[in-house]
Amino acid sequence: MHLPLDAPAPGGSLTVRCRLLAQYEEIVGQGEVTLELPRPSTVLDAVRFLRARVPNGSLLPERPLVAVNLAHALHATLLNDGDELALLPPIAGG
Amino acid sequence: MPILTPDALDPVALLAEVAALGLGGTALFVGSVRRSAEDGPVAAIEYTAYDAMVDAEAGRILAESALRWPETRVALRHRVGRVEAGQASVVAVAASPHRAEAFAACRYVIEEVKKRLPVWKKEIYENGSAEWRANDGSRAAAATPAPRAP
C-alpha cells in the first residue's frame, strides 16, 4: 500500500517504508506501507499520517514504540528519504 | 550465527560455542514456555520477530556486554514459530575466567533481550483461542489463532 501526500508539499517530500509488526499487522491487515511525507517530518508525524489513512489506524497507539533503520528511535527523530520506520508492539521476547 | 531459529534450542551446543580453556566459570539461562495457574492453559506460544532488527539489536546487546566484561564470551539464541509448553524459547550462555562475571554478563544479556529484542509472542490456549502477551504482563486479543502444527 502506498500512501501519497494529499497535495504537493512546499518543502518537497520524502518516502519512508513503514513496517507494521505482530498485532499491528493484524490490526491494519498489512505488514508494510509506503508513506510519502512532507519534508521535514518526524517519526511522530509519520505515525499520525499513518493512523489517519490506514484501515483501523485509530486502533494503533498514538505513541507506539518505534525503530528507524533497525534501531530503537525517539518520536522526535527526523526521517530521511528511504528510511525504514517500524511500529513495534510492546516487546515480548524471551 | 543468526540469533533466531525455528529449530529446538540446544543449550549444550551453546555451551560448546563459548567454551575455552581459560574460561572457568560458565552461566547458562534457559527460558521456557510456561503454563501455570496464573498464565492459564497455554498449549504453546507462537513467536514472531522483526528478523533484521533482531540481529542488529542483539549485536548491540552483545557488544555492550563485551565492553562491560571483555574477558567474557556470550552466545544467544531465540526461537521463532510455534514453541510447545515446556520447550525452551531462549538460551543465553556466558563464559568467563570467574563466576561473578559469567553470572553478570548472562543476566545483563537476558534482561536486555526482554526489554529490547523485537520479538512478540502469541499465547495459544488449549481451546484454540489466542492472545498477544507482552513482557509487562498485558494481553491483547489476537485476530486469528495461529494454525496448529501438523
* % pLDDT > 90, chain B: 83
Residue A41's identity, in one-letter code, is: S
Over residues B10-57, the pLDDT tens digits come to 999 999 999 999 999 999 999 999 988 777 899 999 999 999 999 999
pLDDT at B139 (0 to 100): 80
Over residues A41-63, the pLDDT tens digits come to 999 999 999 999 999 999 999 99
Q: Which residue's entry shows cell 520506520?
A: A85
Please, are residues B114 and A91 in contact by the beta-carbon 8 Å criterion? yes
Q: Does B75 touch chain A (CB under 8 A)?
A: no
Q: Is the pLDDT of residue A65 over 50?
A: yes
pLDDT band at B143 (very low <50, low <70, confident <90, very high): low
pLDDT at B135 (0 to 100): 82
Answer yes or no: do A92 and B113 touch at CB < 8 A.
no
* Higher-confidence position of B36 and B110: B110
pLDDT at B144 (0 to 100): 52
Q: Does A19 touch chain B (CB under 8 A)?
A: yes
pLDDT at B150 (0 to 100): 45
Buried b (16+ CB within 10 A) or exposed e, B91-109: bbbbbbeeeebbbbbbebb
pLDDT at B40 (0 to 100): 80
For residue B65, the SS3 value is helix
For domain B4-136, give the CATH number.
3.90.1170.40
* % pLDDT > 70, chain B: 95
When pLDDT is averaged across residues A60-81 and rounded to a whole number, the result is: 98
Map out the domains of chain B as residue ranges: 4-136
Report d(CA B128, CA B144) in Å as an integer: 10
Reported ipTM: the value is 0.92
**DSSP per residue over chain A, as a string?**
-EE--SS--TT-EEEEEEEE-THHHHHHS-SEEEEEEESS-BHHHHHHHHHHHSTTGGGS-SS-EEEETTEEE-TTPBP-TT-EEEEEPSP---
One of 3.90.45.10, 3.10.20.30, 3.40.50.720, 3.30.70.270 is the CATH number of A2-88, namely 3.10.20.30
Distance of residue B13 Cα from the nearest chain A Cα, in angstroms = 19
Q: Does A32 touch chain B (CB under 8 A)?
A: no
pLDDT at B142 (0 to 100): 76
